[in-house]
Amino acid sequence: MSSQILINYGEVYSKVSEFRNRIDAELQQTNNDYRQGNFAINQMDGSANAHFAEAMIANQRKSQVTADTVTKLIMFMEHSARQVERKEQNIARIFEASAMRTSRPMRTGVGL
């Protein structure tokens, strides 16, 4: 078992983008469904319909809050991945520079 954690950052960013697009599409569809439901309810009479309409509006708001929360989590994941990627790149540069310094032959005063 390897002690390394290998992260495919391109895959992370691709999935984050995919998830964000799916959330946006689902939220848009949900909002369309709520609008259609509200329109149908508003065409009817009765206090029960008014309560149902209020419940639908409350659920629509909850859907928006949930989507916003999930989007924030996805953005946090993306930001975290970018930070880790930058740190890995910095560490790699340090190791490369160190390897270059140690691989150069040392100059001595002999033969000059």
pLDDT in tens, 66-94: 999 999 999 999 999 999 999 999 998 88
pLDDT of 108 > 70? The answer is no
pLDDT, residue 109, reads: 56
Q: What is the pTM of this model?
A: 0.63
Cα–Cα dist 104/69, whole Å: 53
Cα–Cα dist 96/1, whole Å: 26
Per-residue pLDDT band for 104 (boundaries 50, 70, 90) equals: low
| More reliable by pLDDT, 91 or 38 | 91
